[in-house]
Structure 1
Amino acid sequence: METTSRLEIRHECPSVEQYLSLRREAGLSPMSAAGAETGLPRSCFAVTLVEDGDLVGMGRVVGDGGCFFQVTDIAVKPSCQGRGLGKTIMREIKGYLDTLPSETYVSLIADGEAARLYAQYGFAPVMPMSQGMFLKR
């Protein structure tokens, strides 16, 4: 008998434990549990992909709720990559972003080849007019 998995798209944040675990497994920078406990509920929008009860992908939009938003935490479990799940996450996020006023500034930081995925959803490099920066700690 063949079993098929069922992918659920949920517009909700993962638990703190799921969030930290998927970030680690997907090779994203580590975050603290305290930071996740504070930050996750403050998301403007979140999408999680759940397959057979397991979190396999996620993405969030954070920001001030009016003028500035940032797409963040795009992650897919390595064992599930190559199946278009990143596109599913971005499609859901783009649907949310399309409800915002056109003057809203939406940004993201693209690591490596991920820029190719984000370009499919209208994101473009800001160089040379601007340069992305972060606070080095």
Structure 2
Amino acid sequence: MTTPTLIEAVPDIDTYRRLRREAGMTDRAPPAAAAGLAGSLYCVLAFVDSRAVGMARVIGDGGCFFQICDVAVVAAQQHCGIGHLLMARLTHWLDDNVCESAFVSLMADGESHHLYTRHGFEFSAPGSQGMVYPRRYRRRQ
């Protein structure tokens, strides 16, 4: 495998959406992707042969709350260590830029918790439980 090149940059909307799809993640609508990417605190992209094959982002309020999201590696490059390189870059950024009192979180889908625990993340249960708000698009009355 070619060693990937990591670049600290926010992906453009098309690259962001492609990486999510090719990693097996749900797509995001272009307006949502544009707004979300603009609010990124830190992003890193992985390139192999000049093609983006992975990404990871940190979002949050910049002081008290930080969340890791969009850790994505295209299917053809998964299990090659790119996810570890991306997470190492994120955790170094967090260590250098985030106050110790801040809350750093992520949601681990499927078996991704194996990657995250290798980078120091712990399960929050039973002290706390991760929860989601399942949006229901309905007309307000």
AA at the equivalent of 2:41? C
Query: Paired residue for 1:56?
Result: 53
| Number of equivalent positions | 134
Structure 1 residue 29 displacement after superposition: 2.0
Find 2:10's aligned residue among 5, 8, 13. 13
AA at the equivalent of 1:64? D
Find 1:119's aligned residue among 117, 122, 125. 117
1:86 paired to 2:83 = yes
Q: Determine helix, strand or coil for the equivalent of 2:130.
A: coil
Give ranges in structure 2 of 5+ residues lacking alignment: 136-141
Find 2:131's aligned residue among 120, 128, 133. 133
TM-score (normalised: structure 2): 0.90
Matches within 5 A, 1:66-81: 66-81=63-78
AA at the equivalent of 2:46? L
Query: Paired residue for 2:38?
Result: 41
% of aligned pairs identical?
40
Give ranges in structure 1 of 5+ residues lacking alignment: none
Cα pair 2:4 2:82 within 8 Å, conserved:
no
Q: Determine helix, strand or coil for the equivalent of 2:70.
A: strand
Cα pair 2:56 2:68 within 8 Å, conserved:
yes
TM-score (normalised: structure 1): 0.93
Query: Paired residue for 1:95?
Result: 92
Cα pair 1:6 1:52 within 8 Å, conserved:
no
Structure 1 residue 22 displacement after superposition: 1.0
| Cα distance in structure 2, aligned partners of 1:46 and 1:61 | 6
| Cα distance in structure 1, aligned partners of 2:78 and 2:32 | 27
| Cα distance in structure 2, aligned partners of 1:106 and 1:124 | 11
**Structure 1, 58-67 or 23-32: larger mean CA deviation:** 23-32
Q: Pairwise CA RMSD of aligned residues?
A: 1.3
Structure 1 stretches of at least 4 aligned residues deviating more than 3 Å after TM superposition? none
